[in-house]
Structure formats: C-alpha cells, structure tokens
Homo-oligomer: A and B are copies of this chain.
C-alpha cells in the first residue's frame, strides 16, 4: 500500500493544535469566560462590597477583541509592515484569547505584545525601544512583561501559515495557464489579486482562520474576489484546469458558507467597543489590574 504523501502544512502545529469547529470555539470561549467569572467574582468581592457585578460575556469578548484586531490592522498599515506580519499578530491575539479572558488581560496590552512578537517571527525585527518609538508608547515595560504570558497562551508555537502565500501562487499560476492563449486581461487579474488580499484581510477578522486551512481560504478569496469584479469565469476556468473537478465543486460549496460568515461579521464600531470597554472596567480581575488596591 502506498503511503500517502504528507504536506508540510500537516506537520505544522497549526494543523495539529489550532483548527476548531465553530462549536468547539464556542465551548472553549464559553468555558474560559465562566471560569474567569467564578474566579474574578471572589477577588472583586474581597476588594469592594458589591454583589451585582456586570460581567463581560464570551460574545462581548469576541467583539471587543475584533475591534482591537481592526486597530492592529490600522497600526500595521501605518507602520508599513508587510501583510504577513499584521496577519500573524492578529492570529496571535485570536489564539491567546481562546483560553484567556479580557477580564484578566486587556486586549490593548495583549495586541502590542502580539505585534512585537510577530515582528520577530516574521523577520521584521526591531528593538523594543525602536518599537516603542515607532508606536509612540512611552512605557514599553508592559509589553516585555506580557511576552512570556502571551507565549504561554500561544503554547510557544510561533509559526503561522497564512493564505497569502497560496494566493500569490495562484496569482502567478493563472498567468502561466492563460499566457499562451493571450486570453488574459492582465489589469483585471491585478485588480482581482488586490481584492483577494482585501478579502483575506476581512477573513482575518473572523473565526474562519481557526476553522479552515490556508489553502482553502486562498481559493475562497479568489472565488469571492472574482465574483465582485467579473473575473469569476476565469477563476472557475483556472481552478477546473488546475484542480480535481470534485475539489473545485467542494471548494465552491465551502466558499458559499465562508462568504456568509464574512457578510454577517460587520466591523465593530467604536461606540460598541467603548461600551464594552467601559463595562470591562468594573469587572476586571483586581489581581491583574495595575490600578487596583489589591
């Protein structure tokens, strides 16, 4: 019997430890949230004489984190960091908050540490002083203090596979496939590829990268991008030539489901984030809050 070839991706920690079903994600977050509430309730009652504490829900945590992930994308664009560096920082934040609560660690602190770690693992290395200067953070102590805690949350698995590389491969390959016929509208392909990168940026803000594989996400991004600028017929033609017919069908069905997730998950507006953030002040773990008396 022939041994099936293993893809490099299958050997990765991402494949082995960081793929979930939507309900697994829900359960992880839910259980982390209720355990935190139990723990934090005691500490708060030790500190103050309050009975009714308005705790943050797991769902609100996801929303507030998404708001900060959006901020992270803005920061990275401002610092002109490459897409993979931004993407890695976003995924670090997502992974960290699967088993950690914002009532223990505020996302705005965690995101900076995630970004600092990401500049290291994506080869955009800068010193902590440079990092602080670039981001106009007067005190970078917190970032260094959280480095170990975040690393623990990531299980020290720093290498992240993104859909960008697969998408770039398809971008080149489409040119090769259609080149001999002179049938390719190059500017339309370029426009599609720009849209593909935008779609991946949106995918990064959802749970999709925790559910699907990078190669699946890359194809989905091409299907979605093509649908929006009329390149869809070429995309289909290309996929049918390059992949197994059944795989193409299955990827199209899958994309229907992903596209729906993208449409449903709107940007989290500032007011919503501010509301959650305000409530978070009253239910943070006093043991981890620098402003607490404990």
Contacts and interface: CB of A to CB of B under 8 A. Distances in A.
Contacts of A243: 244, 246
Interface residues of A, number: 34
A7 B245 contact: yes
Contact of A216 (B215, B241, B253): B253
Nearest to A178: B1
A223 to B, nearest CB: 13
A287 interface: no
If over half of A's interface residues share one DSSP class (helix, strand or loop), that class is named, otherwise mixed; here it is: helix
Contacts of A7: 245
Copies per complex of this chain:
2
Interface in A1-55: 1-2, 4-5, 7, 19, 21-23
A35 to B, nearest CB: 24
Nearest to A240: B4
Contacts of A216: 249-250, 253
Interface in A225-254: 237, 240-241, 243-247, 249-251, 253-254
A23 to B, nearest CB: 5
Nearest to A19: B253
